[in-house]
Amino acid sequence: MSTAEPTLLTPGPLTTSRRTRQAMMVDWGSWDDRFNQLTASLCEQLLAIVNGADSHHCVPLQGSGTFAVEAAIGTLVPRDGKVLVLINGAYGKRLANICEVLGRSFSTFETAEDEPSSAADVDRLLRADASITHVALIHCETSTGILNPLADIAHVIAQHGKHLIIDAMSSFGALPIDAQQVPFDALIAASGKCLEGVPGMGFVFARKETLANAAGNSHSLAMDLFDQHAYMAKTGQWRFTPPTHVVAALHEALLQYDEEGGLPARYQRYANNCQVLLDDMAKLGLRSFLPTAIQAPIIVTFHAPKDPRYQFKEFYERVKAKGYILYPGKLTQAETFRVGCIGHVNQAEMHAAVAAVAEVLREMEVLDI
């Protein structure tokens, strides 16, 4: 990689393959039959990953993942519903903010940034407030990399007869989620994460019965998943101008996903990347924020060096000059930085990235090794 084409060690956008980028070199007509077939194939492949073809619809939407999260809440939570939002990081707080902006009643339950949400807490909260209709959960909270116990929480919610909305933005495609084993009304993800496409398209796996009953819920014309699905089912077309090049890139990325071995292989590569990162950084004396048991192999938060000569902006620019883009920390309680394990990268590139970090810290006179 040249400095003009750095490796993105971030949670998305991320480094993509040459094949994926080349797929964007073709222009598509948005109403053309070939493009409609591309969209249909894409949705079919996405549903297969989550084993949801029998129970859920895949509804694609233009925009970032947050667009799809807002669309899911706005469409699938009735205007008189109430959402319990589980928070242990910035993206849980964003979910609560979305509910507030949309005028949906909500309550929050917040744990520390290094403490997963628990099924026992959800059980207690649902017993205490019968007005709650939905629970919203971040599967992998990207602000730290923490993994929340999705399956346990999902089963408690189902036992209470409530509805689960999952933000699986940073986990879908790498961490297993089976729609036939984990009950949910909606699971939301995007093109530019573990599937290694480019950003610009979100998608929602919506339970068929729930979506069928969602007419009139949405606050928005453009973000109404009920209308989006109904129009696509009838015509095969997107309601409004689709991100054609993003769709084509994701379709190509999914071909490579299958060639690699699907979800198990993608998970294993990311897990290997994560282990290399943790091991090599530990040798430099850089400690990860989370214990191993709750660390997802998606992005790792590290405590920043305590040396006063360390400044993140200079550190970031120096590492970037060596070909790697890192991510700033997102915690309030400690100074940190983050390194992603996902994207079209492997163990050799992770070793090289940590070597670049070590070199930079020596240049800054923060490390003496």
pLDDT tens, residue order, the chain (369 aa): 444 589 999 988 999 999 999 999 999 999 899 999 999 999 999 999 999 999 999 999 999 999 999 999 999 999 999 999 999 999 999 999 999 999 999 999 999 999 999 999 999 999 999 999 999 999 999 989 999 999 999 999 999 999 999 999 999 999 999 999 999 999 999 999 999 999 999 999 999 999 999 999 999 999 999 999 999 999 999 999 999 999 999 999 999 999 999 999 999 999 999 999 999 999 999 999 999 999 999 999 999 999 999 999 999 999 999 999 999 887 767 899 999 999 999 999 999 999 999 999 999 999 765
φ and ψ at 189, to 5 degrees?
Answer: -150, -175
CATH code: domain 7-13+263-363 is: 3.90.1150.10
pLDDT of residue 4: 55
Domains 7-13+263-363 and 18-258 share a fold: no
Query: Do 203 and 46 meet the contact criterion of CB atoms below 8 Å apart?
Result: yes
- Comparing CA positions, the residue from 187, 115, 175, 205 lying closest to residue 342 is 175
Q: How far is CA 194 from the centre of its chain?
A: 8
The whole-angstrom separation of Cα 340 and Cα 145 is 9
Query: What region does 345 belong to: left with phi over 0, alpha with psi -120 to 50, or beta?
Result: beta
Q: ∠ at Cα 16 (11, 22), nearest 5°?
A: 150
Pairing of strands 7-8, 324-325: parallel
* CATH architecture type of domain 18-258: 3-Layer(aba) Sandwich (3.40)
Long-range contacts: 178-183, Cβ < 8 Å, 24+?
A: 178/50, 178/51, 179/50, 179/51, 179/52, 179/55, 179/56, 179/205, 180/51, 180/52, 180/54, 180/55, 181/151, 182/150, 182/151, 182/154, 182/155, 183/154, 183/155, 183/157, 183/158
- Comparing CA positions, the residue from 288, 291, 289, 263 lying closest to residue 277 is 288
Q: Is the dihedral of CA 171, 63, 182, 263 positive or negative?
A: negative
Please state the domain extents for the chain.
7-13+263-363, 18-258
pLDDT of residue 369: 57
Question: Has this prediction a pTM greater than 0.75?
Answer: yes
The whole-angstrom separation of Cα 117 and Cα 43 is 31
